[in-house]
Amino acid sequence: MDKNSKELLVKILFILCVIICLSSLLNSAMALVGGFIFAHFLGHPFVQYNQRAVNWLLKIAIVGLGFGMNIQDSLMAGKDGLSLTVFSISLVLVSGFLTGIFLNMNRKTTHLISSGTAICGGSAIAAVAPVIKASNQDISIALGVVFFFNSVALILFPVIGHFFELSQYQFGLWAAIAIHDTSSVVGAAVVYGDEALNVATTVKLARALWIIPLSLFSIYLFKGKNSRVKIPWFILFFIISILINSYLTLPDFLTGSVTLISKSILVLTLFLIGAGLSVQKIKAAGWKPMTLGLVLWLLISSISLLIIIKL
């Protein structure tokens, strides 16, 4: 088989995988691992479009999931998660700063990994990086570390949740607090159950709003000037979709269909995230950033789990 024929075959297989992801035949963990395996052995035929597709598909999926939620339940979940959110963000940022000093790490890489772990993974890194004038290497390392532990959490958290017999509410809250990236939070919660999904999505997106004060703090910390703070505007559309579902009488088949399609889009998003995560990226991060990411991940996962079990 010549090179062109091989490339065409890989593209066809990739498109088939996309269709399978949209068909609801795969769960979140299978899609993530499947994407990683596909790209590792066959390569990614559309790698130049991967990150943009992930960004847009995730936002579309999140907004669509809002049509399956009720405003009263969402407000209650957000309120209950507020104190734990403030505590966990402060804990991760301070612990990351101290661990970075101990490991003698680059200050900007440390701050990016800590920010991604504290709030919402890649979104927080993307928001903070420009205001601290981080280099491409700093950003790549931080993203590699955060996405690796996101992937592990997506697979392990539902297993741990069932082991400790967490309720739907408890698991949703734990996932929102302890898993970095929104995609993996929603991916883990959708496997656990609908209530867990609603709680996790609401608390995580409320947590994402802390990107704004974090970015302002980062400007002060790194003495940045004339830096712009990126606001996650898609959260506004998520809130609007919840309000529409709560106060307008929409046909059940319509809201149900939108929610189902959104879950399928989320599975596809996780497949693309897996396809964009390579062994080379993980190795390139180095042992110090990986150690920092591991320490912070274990810290926030274990402490938040203990608190939630005792609530």
Share of the chain above pLDDT 70, in %: 94
pLDDT for residue 281 is more than 80:
no
pLDDT for the residue 19: 95
Average pLDDT over residues 14-19: 95
* 264 contacts 117 by C-beta, under 8 angstroms: no
Average pLDDT over residues 197-209: 85
pLDDT for the residue 80: 64
pLDDT for residue 77 is more than 70:
no
Average pLDDT over residues 163-189: 92
Average pLDDT over residues 155-164: 94
pLDDT for residue 8 is more than 80:
yes
Token readout for 207 is 């947590």
- Domain limits of the chain? 3-310
Interval 37-59: pLDDT, tens:
999 899 999 999 988 898 888 88
pLDDT for the residue 231: 61
Average pLDDT over residues 177-182: 88
pLDDT for the residue 90: 92
pLDDT for the residue 203: 87
pLDDT for residue 280 is more than 80:
no
pLDDT for residue 243 is more than 90:
no
Residue 75 — pLDDT band, cuts 50, 70, 90? low
Token readout for 3 is 């090179």
Average pLDDT over residues 262-288: 83
pLDDT for the residue 169: 92
pLDDT for the residue 130: 79
pLDDT for the residue 176: 92
pLDDT for the residue 228: 63
pTM > 0.85: yes or no: no
- Count of all residues that appear for the chain in the document: 311
pLDDT for the residue 218: 86
More confident residue, 300 or 141: 300
Token readout for 42 is 């066959």
Interval 56-72: pLDDT, tens:
888 888 888 888 877 77
pLDDT for the residue 173: 92
pLDDT for residue 92 is more than 80:
yes
* 188 contacts 200 by C-beta, under 8 angstroms: yes
pLDDT for the residue 164: 94
Separation in Å, CA 93 to CA 2, 48, 51, 216, 234 = 52, 32, 26, 14, 25
Measured between alpha carbons, how far is 178 from 121 in angstroms, rounded to an integer?
Answer: 11
Within 10 A of 51 (CB to CB), how many other CB atoms are there?
Answer: 15
Interval 94-125: pLDDT, tens:
999 999 999 999 999 999 999 999 988 877 88
Token readout for 4 is 């062109």
Residue type, 272: L
pLDDT for the residue 229: 61
Least confidently predicted of 73-77, 224-228, 271-275: 224-228
b (16+ CB within 10 A) / e for 189-212: bbbbbebbbbbbbbbbbbbbbbbe
